[in-house]
Every structure is written in structure tokens, then in C-alpha cells.
């Protein structure tokens, strides 16, 4: 029997993604994005399963579990919430030259049941989009929930992970918020395929490529961890 390349972790995981997910770089108008959360104020994560988040490992380094801010959906806009949910445990893949190890799954003290679908399907040549709670444009718009549908296709480079080229300084999103999700879309359905590496060479607004840690490189660990801790 062929193994599935889609990890279904919630009944609401795949939503149609509106073309107007971001208006003028600052307002999220699609409920699909309410699963994109702030982690410890300076990182981003994606809700996973019924009670977990997927984020970057360095966001939770040195046992800095901290808090997650789950956004609200009010008046057709995804907005920052004052509700903070504590993380109670976290899990990271062991280091390996064959893995992208800057990835973490953390368990929340309260269930959310809003987790996204994950897919380990090959992303080479696919259309992708990214979301995060970071700074936009010239950094004058802080911590706004953003979404960008890249105009260029994704590439997979074994030594780097997933790479998406962007016009120099014109991408509209700055990944100072490490750990945000990369979505691969088939028609109007999107699933999480990678995690933003964040503050590394080539991943910021002013460079010409965004770098991602792909879930495919850690698929066995993700599947085991989600089943044991997140459902």
C-alpha cells in the first residue's frame, strides 16, 4: 500500500485562499489565515493538529517555551488577539545532514482544533505562498499578519531546503518572524509544506531569495510526533 503524502490533522485544515488575503500589505481578510499565530512575540507558527503549533527550532531554543497568540477573526479581518496560550512541551528532530533541523512542534495547554494540513509532496516547480506576523515594506508596519503569493515557482536545493526567488526588495514581506508557514496550493486548496528559516542569509526582505525548512525532510518525525502529542 502506498503511503499518503498528506497528513490530515484537522477537519478545517484546507480552506479556499482568497486573492485578497492581504490588502495593502497589512490586513488579512481570509479566515484561512487565522491559524497563523505569533510565537513569543518575535516568531510565527502554524496551528497543527488539535493542540500543537509548528514553528522554527531556534524560536524555542534553550527551553524558551513561552506563549502563543492565537488571532481573532472579527468583521471579516484576521486581527491580533490579546488571548495568550502557554506552551507546555516541545519536540525537535535530532540533527542530521539529511534533515532540516530548524523545526519544532510545541504542545499548547488549550486545544484549538484549527490545525492546517501538511503535505510532503515534492514542491519543485510548484506555486507557493507564505504567511507571517512580521514587519512589512520598510519596517514601518510592525507585526501585521501578511500573506504573499509568490510570482516565482519554488525550487528544492538539497543543501538549503526550499528556495523561492523574489525581486530584490520588492517581495512585500520580511521574515524577521521566523517559523512562519509556506503553503503549496492546488487550485483553491492549500497545505503547509515548509517553515521559514528566518534570520539567515538570503531570507530577509532586501535579499533575492527566501529560504524554507521543508516538512518532507522530517516527515517520519512529524507524523510520529503529531500522532503522539497533537491529536
Percent of the chain, pLDDT > 90? 25
Strand partners, 89: 107
User: 118-216 architecture in CATH?
Assistant: Beta Barrel (2.40)
Q: Give CA–CA dist 39/41, Å, rounded.
A: 5
pTM recorded for the entire structure: 0.82
Percentages (nearest 5) of helix, strand, coil residues in the chain: 10, 40, 50
Pick the CATH number of 16-115+217-229 from 2.60.40.10, 3.20.20.70, 2.40.10.10, 2.60.120.20: 2.40.10.10
Q: What pLDDT is attached to residue 227?
A: 94
According to the model, what pLDDT value does residue 21 have? 42
Give the tens place of pLDDT for each residue, 51-97.
Answer: 999 999 888 876 678 898 887 777 766 777 777 899 999 999 988 77
Residues 20 and 199 sit within 8 Å (Cβ to Cβ):
no
Instruction: Locate CATH 2.40.10.10 in the chain.
Output: 16-115+217-229, 118-216
Q: How is residue 27 written as a grid cell?
A: 490586513
Give percent of the chain with pLDDT exceeding 70.
Answer: 68
Q: What is the DSSP string of 20-62?
A: TSEETTTEE--GGGGGEEEETTTEEEEEETTTEEEE-GGGGGG
Count other Cβ atoms within 10 Å, centred on residue 175: 26
Question: Mind listing the pLDDT tens digit for each residue in 107-157?
Answer: 999 998 778 889 999 999 998 888 887 655 545 555 667 777 787 889 998
Average pLDDT over residues 175-204: 73
Number of C-beta neighbours around residue 79 at 10 A: 14
Cell, residue 158? 538539497
Amino acid at each position: 500500500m502506498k503511503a499518503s503524502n498528506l497528513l490530515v490533522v484537522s477537519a478545517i485544515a484546507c480552506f479556499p485562499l482568497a486573492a485578497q488575503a492581504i490588502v495593502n500589505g497589512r490586513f488579512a481578510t481570509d479566515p484561512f489565515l487565522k491559524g497563523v499565530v505569533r510565537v513569543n512575540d518575535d516568531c510565527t507558527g502554524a496551528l497543527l493538529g488539535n493542540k500543537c503549533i509548528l514553528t522554527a527550532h531556534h524560536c524555542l531554543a534553550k527551553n524558551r517555551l513561552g506563549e502563543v497568540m492565537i488571532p481573532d477573526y472579527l468583521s471579516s479581518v484576521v486581527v491580533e488577539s490579546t488571548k495568550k496560550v502557554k506552551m507546555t512541551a516541545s519536540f525537535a528532530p535530532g540533527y542530521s545532514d539529511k534533515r532540516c533541523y530548524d523545526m519544532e512542534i510545541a504542545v499548547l495547554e488549550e486545544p484549538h482544533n484549527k490545525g492546517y494540513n501538511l503535505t510532503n509532496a515534492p514542491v519543485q516547480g510548484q506555486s507557493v505562498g507564505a504567511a507571517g506576523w512580521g514587519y512589512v515594506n520598510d519596517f514601518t508596519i510592525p507585526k501585521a499578519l501578511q500573506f504573499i503569493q509568490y510570482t516565482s515557482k519554488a525550487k528544492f536545493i538539497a543543501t538549503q531546503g526550499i528556495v523561492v526567488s523574489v525581486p530584490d526588495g520588492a517581495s512585500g514581506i520580511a521574515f524577521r518572524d521566523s517559523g512562519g508557514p509556506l503553503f503549496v496550493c492546488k487550485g483553491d486548496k492549500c497545505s503547509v509544506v515548509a517553515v521559514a528559516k528566518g534570520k539567515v542569509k538570503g531570507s530577509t526582505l532586501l535579499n533575492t531569495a527566501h529560504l524554507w525548512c521543508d516538512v518532507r525532510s522530517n516527515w517520519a518525525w512529524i507524523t510520529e510526533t503529531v500522532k503522539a502529542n497533537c491529536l
